[in-house]
Amino acid sequence: MKSDVQVAVIGGGIVGVSVLYWLAKLGWTDSVLLERRELTSGSTWHAAGNTTYFGPYPKMTALFAGSIRTYLQAEKETGQSVGFHKTGSLRLAASERELELFHVYAPRYANLGIPFHIRSPEEVSGLHPFIDTGSIHGAAHTPTDGHVDPTGATNALAQAARNLGSSIERHCPVGAISKSAGKWWIETSSGAVTAEHVVVATSFWAREMLAPLGLNLPLYPTQHHEIITESLPQVAALDTELPAMRDSWVSCNVRQERDGLLIGIYEREPEFWALDGIPPDFKEELLPPNLDPLMPHLERLMERMPLFAEAGIKVANNGPMCFTPDGLPLIGPLPQMDGLWLAAGFNVGIGTGGGSAEILAKWMTTGQPPSGLDAIHADRFGTRIDRESALSSIRDVYARGYHLPDSI
Ligand SMILES: Cc1cc2nc3c(=O)[nH]c(=O)nc-3n(C[C@H](O)[C@H](O)[C@H](O)COP(=O)(O)OP(=O)(O)OC[C@H]3O[C@@H](n4cnc5c(N)ncnc54)[C@H](O)[C@@H]3O)c2cc1C
């Protein structure tokens, strides 16, 4: 194992591996990634892999677009598939107001060079035969996004980074981190590593990991469900894969998974997990599913997509997922901690991980912060946000799910 490096990245989920990859692309290959267990063993392995370009904030859309670009680039470089399905997405207009907002967003997509069309309810039926368009006002259609295989993408990025000269150490849990004689000291189960820069990409583990340094980071795990149905003959009979659908009225996303449907739900009363500490023996595990709070949403989905009412549920996965009080990740240097960087708090880390890593790696290698991205800066909450107000904001932002901001 390399024991003295320019950069140590801690955490081998999609985010940490993307950071290692982008640092290597920009010439910083004297680096090692330290992962407690296997790559993807946190939230990444069980994610649905959705990555949509739709959103009210162009800078965030650019992160989504940068992520798909990053994953496809790693696929090309290694020959390892990232499992990208270019299905496109339909963001339904559940109200006249949402449709108005879509018209406001359209020129922003043109500026980013991302195809964005506003579809009538009739056109939505043509694109997605299972949506009941009777009560929608149309949809925003982003035809070039879709979903990737999160594990495949992580592995391709890891291989591409290794090919460029970076190292990855699995089964190498990090303990204490400290600074001494101008270097960061990272204690691991295989000995100490010293580094000029450390990137902490350990998702909801980052809070406990950095608390001994006096940092109080509002990173907490929520529970999040995805439901996969049994095969449906109507889906099996399709010639092309369905576009993903997102709907604020149901507060869910639905995409095709083989010949069935995969549904992700943002319920009104989200549950947290392990608030008093992540169990030290937590492995590649799911949490016990709790379908009751999801029922009102599933009932609405039966109205929006009557085919769902005919589907048996094959599996309900409940996994932990990291959230911040405003739902955006914490990216960048930590104040008064020269050389300590954060890339954590991703709740759509597959969608935004690759693009965020590119931004962070450019920031690290040039010393120049990205412009116009204050919304994701690592230090934006300061250190005094107390647990109760952080949890209350997270509850609120999670429950609002696909709600669009009123200000345009
Ligand atoms: C059911 C479900 C569905 C989802 N679907 C989507 C989706 O469709 N699209 C999307 O964009 N997002 C989705 N997500 C969210 C997505 O899974 C996360 O945003 C993403 O995986 C976060 O990646 P990460 O690299 O930040 O964290 P993780 O994947 O959790 O990686 C953190 C890593 O740090 C390691 N680590 C922790 N402590 C240490 C230590 N002490 N030493 C060394 N290593 C350590 C862990 O082992 C882990 O591998 C979903 C989440 C859930 C629960």
Give residue-wise pLDDT tens across range 123-142.
999 999 999 999 999 999 99
Instruction: Using the predicted structure, report yes or no on whether residue 383 has a pLDDT greater than 90.
Output: no
**Nearest protein CA to atom 30 of ligand 1, as residue:** 42
Cβ of 13 less than 6 Å from ligand 1 = yes
Distance CA 337, CA 340 (A): 6
Place 407 in a pLDDT band, splitting at 50, 70 and 90. low
| Ligand 1 atom at shortest distance from the alpha carbon of 253 | 8
Instruction: Using the predicted structure, report yes or no on whether residue 408 has a pLDDT greater than 60.
Output: no
Cβ of 154 less than 6 Å from ligand 1 = no
Task: Give the CA angle between residues 236, 140, 123 to the nearest 5°.
Answer: 60
Residue-averaged pLDDT of the chain? 96
Cβ of 355 less than 6 Å from ligand 1 = no
Cβ of 197 less than 6 Å from ligand 1 = no
Q: How much of the chain, in percent, has pLDDT values that exceed 70?
A: 100
* Sequence-ordered list of residues with C-beta below 8 angstroms from that of 82, at least 6 positions apart, any chain: 71, 72, 74, 75, 148, 149, 152, 153, 156
Domain with residues 4-400, CATH architecture? 3-Layer(bba) Sandwich (3.50)
Cβ of 329 less than 6 Å from ligand 1 = no
- Whether the CB-CB separation of 240 and 146 falls below 8 Å is answered with no
Domain positions in the chain are 4-400
Best residue among 34, 203, 360 to mutate for probing ligand 1's pocket (most ligand atoms within 8 Å of CB) is 203
Nearest CA to 35 among 199, 212, 275, 279?
199
Instruction: Using the predicted structure, report yes or no on whether residue 329 has a pLDDT greater than 70.
Output: yes
Instruction: Using the predicted structure, report yes or no on whether residue 396 has a pLDDT greater than 60.
Output: yes
The rounded Å distance from CA 96 to ligand 1 centre is 36
Q: What is the pLDDT of residues 274-324, one digit of tens each?
A: 999 999 999 999 999 999 999 999 999 999 999 999 999 999 999 999 999
Distance CA 68, CA 85 (A): 11
Residue 287 is classified by DSSP as: B
Q: What is the pLDDT of residues 224-256, one digit of tens each?
A: 999 999 999 999 999 999 999 999 999 999 999
Residue located via tokens 């339909």: 90
- The reported pTM is 0.98
Residue located via tokens 């116009």: 372
